[in-house]
Structure 1
Amino acid sequence: MAAGDRVATVPERMADHWRAGIFPLLNLFLTMHRSLTEHEEMGPSVLLIYCTVCVGNIQKLMRERNVPDAFVATAVLPREWVVPMSRSAIAAATGLPRETVRRHVGHLIDQGLLIEDPRGGVTIVPGAIQDRGYEPLLEKLLTEFARTGEALLRAGVIEVKPGG
């Protein structure tokens, strides 16, 4: 892909290719779930909560048009870029009952995977990518994501549109 190109869905091909499109997407989901739970030995609800907090914590940074170069890799983010998530926000985002979220968040804090933030809510532990050895896991997930993209391109349900 060239700079400015974008990936787009091809609605007119989707209806005739649902199976060819859904298979790589579900396979990606299952591969990601298996990889993540093997790395941290979490059940599905706990993994969902942890991933929700991970995404929620960096949403402010990722909404920037130009993410500062210092923060695109694995550098520990300054706390002003990290958005804590309340247990209520986690419950709303995941669809899990608040009591389930409260219980699992407490367990994740006890395991050292989440911390209470002084501003309220919880965040992932600073430096978790390096300290917990997530780099190889992230590489594995990105490789599977690329395979999924290729499968969707072959199925014709997505395409690369030239920018400009």
Structure 2
Amino acid sequence: MTPAMQLVIDEEQANANTRMTAIRAAVLMTRSMELWRRERLDPQSVLIILSVISITSEKLIRAKLEPKYHALDVYLPLEELQGCNIASIAAASGLNRETVRRRVQGLIDGGSLIRTEAGEIALPPDRVQEPSAIELIQRQLGAIVRFANDALRDGILVAKD
């Protein structure tokens, strides 16, 4: 189903409200990081996990992912994911490669990441399906909605048919 309405940026209002936009974006990022840190992860580990998610999963939003895989509570075979390694995580996160290597090993040891049979780094499929993962996504979505509603009130975002 394609939404009839899209949000677009009102360039004039965006330029007139750059401070408000910057503050709201900072609040959104801070809320997002805080939600992830509640899982008892430090900021660098959060950045690494987010990088792994982005790297391994980005192709899923570009490809025609079967609808049965759209929900997190359905197992997605690891073969469906893009490969991910230390170098790609370092590039995506901006962290030093050695720091990433050490942090990834700690996250693997702690069960937050796995190394696949092919040697790639990924999220453990069973962890993705846990209720806490789904709750985290719902809380993240709530933060995004608050940001969008605030930007609508500021006139920075406008609805377009």
Q: Normalising by the residue count of structure 2, what TM-score does the alignment of the two structures yield?
A: 0.91
| Counterparts of residues 93-108 of structure 1 (less than 5 Å) | 93-108=92-107
Q: Is this contact kept in 1: 2:75–2:129, CA < 8 A?
A: no
Structure 1 residue runs of 4 or more that deviate by more than 4 Å after TM superposition? none
- Following TM superposition, by how much is the alpha carbon of 1:132 offset from its aligned partner in structure 2, in angstroms? 6.4
Identity among equivalent pairs (%): 28
How do 1:119-138 and structure 2 match up within 5 A?
A: 119-131=118-130, 133-138=132-137
Q: Could you say which residue in structure 2 is the equivalent of 1:91?
A: 90
* Alignment partners' CA distance in 1, 2:91 and 2:109: 23
Give secondary structure in 1 for the equivalent of 2:83: coil
Please name the residue that 2:60 is paired with: 61
Alpha-carbon shift at residue 60 of structure 1 (Å): 1.7
Q: Give 1:143's aligned residue.
A: 142
| Secondary structure class of the residue paired with 1:133 | helix
Residue 149 of structure 1 aligns to a residue whose secondary structure is helix
Q: What amino acid is the match of 1:44?
A: P
Paired letter, 2:6: R
Matches within 5 A, 1:13-52: 13-38=13-38, 40-52=39-51
**Structure 2: any 5+ residue segments left out of the alignment?**
none
Local SS of the residue matching 2:125? coil
Taking only aligned residues, the RMSD between alpha carbons, in angstroms, comes to 1.6
* 109-118 or 133-142: bigger deviation: 133-142
In the alignment, the residues of structure 2 paired with residue 139 and residue 95 of structure 1 have an alpha-carbon distance, to the nearest angstrom, of 27
How much has 1:102 moved relative to structure 2?
0.2
**What letter corresponds to residue 31 of structure 2 in structure 1?**
T
2:113 is aligned to 114
State the distance in 2 between where 1:133 and 1:3 align: 29
The answer (yes or no) to whether the contact 1:84–1:120 under 8 Å persists in 2 is: no
Residues 98-136 of structure 1: per-residue CA shift (max 9 Å, x gap):
000000000000001111122232011012233362122
Aligned length: 159
When the two structures are superposed, what TM-score results if normalisation uses the length of structure 1? Answer: 0.89
| Structure 2 CA distance for aligned equivalents of residues 132 and 44 of structure 1 | 22
